[in-house]
Structure 1
Amino acid sequence: MEFDLIHRYFKTPFGELAQANPDSVLLGIGDDCATLRILPNHHLFTSTDTLVEGVQFFSDDPSSVIGWKALASNLSDLAASGASPLGFTLNLSLPKIDENWLAGFSAGLLDIATRFNCPLVGGDTTSAGSNPLKTLSITVFGQAPASHLGFNRAHAKIGEEVWLSGTPGLARLGLLLEYQRRGRLEQLCKGHELPQVQALLAAMPAQLRQIAVSQLGMPVPRIELGLQLRGLASACLDLSDGLSGDLAHISNSSGVSAVLFQSSLESMWRNCWPEIDQHADAAQLLKTLLMQTWRGGDDFELCWTAHPKHHSAIQSLGDDLTCVGVIETGREIWVQSPSAGRTRVASLSYNHFAEVPN
């Protein structure tokens, strides 16, 4: 049964993609080990992520969306390292065999694997036993020229600029919308935060709602941007757990402080939501949006630092790249407001052992 499932949903549908990469995939699914070849004078990059039902995804999420996001989260790590994909392995633990779920999962996984030319080269499918929850782990492999050693989190330097891609916090809005739809919004928002979030969700236009839900379920890893940042960025990471906590990793590793400009962050949201200033309570809506930006993960956008001399070169890479701050001495994250001055930002990021499960 296990080998039949592997052939039907993984080896057969993914075989064409592996065969299209004969120079890098020497041996794929079907043997004890996959054999990959990296280009001469290149380094190997690898990353692993695990998704657990009820924690990283809802039990009733479309399985095609789960398949997409499972690989997207790993490819985002390659993007944050400036590496191009080589292939990936999949470990799948299931409480029971559900052919419809597997068909959708395989299709979503194949969609994103094909888009980023990242073939499935091996893995394992096993019973979860008495555990009623699905668990899936992906390990992705990538490569980059030996002259590029990645974007070390410890390489941020005083005077460098802080940049963001996309609109970090959008996936958090998608999660809030999903919890609201399920009548469980109070599980994510405590005390005075709940009415503020309810007002924000009520004010969001329909198009922004759709974008937010899509960002949560089917984020697009910034592989191309990561490659373009070679030679431009110093430190870089992907925003998987929230801006405040993820940027703190750079701050702590580099022994520096990051000062973010409130006006730049608000401009980022205005670009995404142009009508917001027409709302009677625009100031409060922007304040709530910034709070969700600090804590919202799963956007898989990039955050990096770069010398100011690279400002124009980076800006030319895309309209959705925003310079939002500067690196200074210290070891904290601060937000600079034109009216309130400088305020320290506490880490509000996702904590796997503290958050309420989905």
Structure 2
Amino acid sequence: MEFDLIHRHFKSPFAALVKANRDSVLTGIGDDCAALAPMPGHGLYVSTDTLVEGVHFFSDDPAPAVGWKSLACNLSDLAACGAQPIGFTLNLSLPLIDESWVAGFSAGLLEIASTFNCPLVGGDTTSAGANTAKTISITVFGEAPLQHHGFHRALAKAGDDVWVSGTPGLARLGLLLEYQRLGSLSRFYSSSEILSVLELLSVMPQSLKQLAVAALRQPFPRVNLGQSLRGKANACVDLSDGLSGDLAHITTASGLSAVLAVHALQSVWLKRWPELSQLPGSVTFLDTLLNITLQGGDDFELCFTAEPTHLDAIQSINTALCRIGQLEAGEGLWLSQPNHSRQRVLGVSYKHFAEPTL
């Protein structure tokens, strides 16, 4: 039964993608090990992530979206290293065999794998036993030229600009909307905080709400951007746990501090939601969005640092990139107001084993 399931939903659907990459995939599904061949003069990059039902995705999330997100998380790690995907393995643990769910999951997985030319080359499918939650573990493999330094977090320099792609915090908004749908927002916020969040959600246009939920369910990894930043960025991280916590990985590794401009972070939202500035209470709404941006989680956008001399080159890559601050000597993460006053940001990002599960 297990092997029939693998053949129907994974080996057969992915066969064409594997065949199209036969120069790098020497052996795919069906042997004890997959065999991959990076291009000559390239290094191998490896990342792995696990998604657990009820922790990383809702039980009623569409199966294709779960398949997409499962691989997107890993591809985002490759993007943060400037690597090109060459293949991935999948470990799937199921409490029972639901053919309809597995078919949908496989379809979403194949869609994103085809989008980024990343074939499935192996893995395992097992029973979850008494565990009622689906568990999905993916390991992805990528390559980059040996002369590329991988945007290691310790390579940031004092004076570097800090950049972000997309709209950090958008997926967090999607998560809050999902909690609101389930009547569970109180699990995230105290009674003194929840009113401002509810007011914000009440004035959000429906189109933005749809984008936020889509960002949560089906994030788009910035693989092409990561490769375009080779030779320009010094350090990079993908925003999986929130801007404040993930940027802190760079500052800690590099022994520096980051100063983020409040007006720049607000401008990211005003580009996405220009009508916001005309709403009564816009200042309060922007403050709430700022906190959501810092808390974040599941955005899978890139946050990177680069020397100011690369400003024009970076802006020519993608006009949607936003410069939000600068690195300095010192430690910690700081917010800078237009009057140049500063406030230290304390840990507000997602923490496993601390935040509520879905």
* Structure 1 position 211 matched with structure 2 position 217: no
SS of residue paired to 2:317: coil
Note the C-alpha offset of 1:340: 7.1
2:183 alignment partner in structure 1: 183
* Structure 1 position 26 matched with structure 2 position 42: no
1:258 alignment partner in structure 2: 258
Separation in structure 2 between the aligned mates of residue 125 and residue 176 of structure 1, nearest angstrom: 32
Separation in structure 2 between the aligned mates of residue 46 and residue 259 of structure 1, nearest angstrom: 31
SS of residue paired to 1:316: helix
Q: Which amino acid aligns with 1:70?
A: S
Q: Is the 8 A contact 1:93 1:127 kept in 2?
A: yes
Q: Which amino acid aligns with 2:287?
A: K
1:153 alignment partner in structure 2: 153
Separation in structure 2 between the aligned mates of residue 188 and residue 68 of structure 1, nearest angstrom: 26
Separation in structure 2 between the aligned mates of residue 156 and residue 183 of structure 1, nearest angstrom: 42
Q: Deviations over 1:106-138 (max 9, x none)?
A: 000000000000000000000001111100100
Q: Is the 8 A contact 1:256 1:328 kept in 2?
A: yes
SS of residue paired to 1:257: strand
Note the C-alpha offset of 1:191: 2.9
Runs of at least 4 residues of structure 1 off by over 2 A?
A: none
1:65-214 equivalence runs, <5 A: 65-214=65-214
Q: Is the 8 A contact 1:334 1:345 kept in 2?
A: yes
Separation in structure 1 between the aligned mates of residue 46 and residue 125 of structure 2, nearest angstrom: 21
1:289-304 equivalence runs, <5 A: 289-304=289-304
SS of residue paired to 2:49: strand
Separation in structure 1 between the aligned mates of residue 215 and residue 171 of structure 2, nearest angstrom: 5
Q: Which amino acid aligns with 2:265?
A: L
Judge which range, 74-83 or 317-326, deviates more. 317-326
1:33-72 equivalence runs, <5 A: 33-72=33-72
Separation in structure 1 between the aligned mates of residue 315 and residue 206 of structure 2, nearest angstrom: 29
Q: Is the 8 A contact 1:248 1:347 kept in 2?
A: no
Q: Is the 8 A contact 1:232 1:314 kept in 2?
A: yes
Separation in structure 2 between the aligned mates of residue 9 and residue 225 of structure 1, nearest angstrom: 31
Percent identity, aligned pairs only, is 62
Q: Deviations over 1:29-72 (max 9, x none)?
A: 00000111110010000000000000000011111100000000
Separation in structure 2 between the aligned mates of residue 217 and residue 180 of structure 1, nearest angstrom: 16
Q: Is the 8 A contact 1:84 1:144 kept in 2?
A: yes
Separation in structure 2 between the aligned mates of residue 157 and residue 347 of structure 1, nearest angstrom: 22
Separation in structure 2 between the aligned mates of residue 224 and residue 338 of structure 1, nearest angstrom: 34
Separation in structure 1 between the aligned mates of residue 356 and residue 277 of structure 2, nearest angstrom: 33
SS of residue paired to 2:191: coil
1:322-341 equivalence runs, <5 A: 322-339=322-339, 341=341
Gaps of at least 5 residues in structure 1 are: none
1:234 alignment partner in structure 2: 234
Which TM-score applies when normalising by structure 2?
Answer: 0.99
Separation in structure 2 between the aligned mates of residue 329 and residue 147 of structure 1, nearest angstrom: 28
Note the C-alpha offset of 1:347: 1.6
SS of residue paired to 2:164: strand
Separation in structure 1 between the aligned mates of residue 166 and residue 211 of structure 2, nearest angstrom: 12
Separation in structure 2 between the aligned mates of residue 126 and residue 190 of structure 1, nearest angstrom: 40
Separation in structure 1 between the aligned mates of residue 59 and residue 206 of structure 2, nearest angstrom: 25
Q: Which amino acid aligns with 1:253?
A: A
Q: Which amino acid aligns with 1:36?
A: L
Q: Is the 8 A contact 1:158 1:327 kept in 2?
A: yes
1:276-315 equivalence runs, <5 A: 276-315=276-315
Separation in structure 2 between the aligned mates of residue 15 and residue 193 of structure 1, nearest angstrom: 51
SS of residue paired to 2:56: coil
Separation in structure 2 between the aligned mates of residue 136 and residue 10 of structure 1, nearest angstrom: 14
Q: Paired residues, what number?
A: 358
Note the C-alpha offset of 1:317: 1.0
Q: Deviations over 1:142-181 (max 9, x none)?
A: 0001111200100111111000000100000000000001
1:343 alignment partner in structure 2: 343
Gaps of at least 5 residues in structure 2 are: none
Q: Which amino acid aligns with 1:204?
A: M
Separation in structure 2 between the aligned mates of residue 311 and residue 199 of structure 1, nearest angstrom: 37
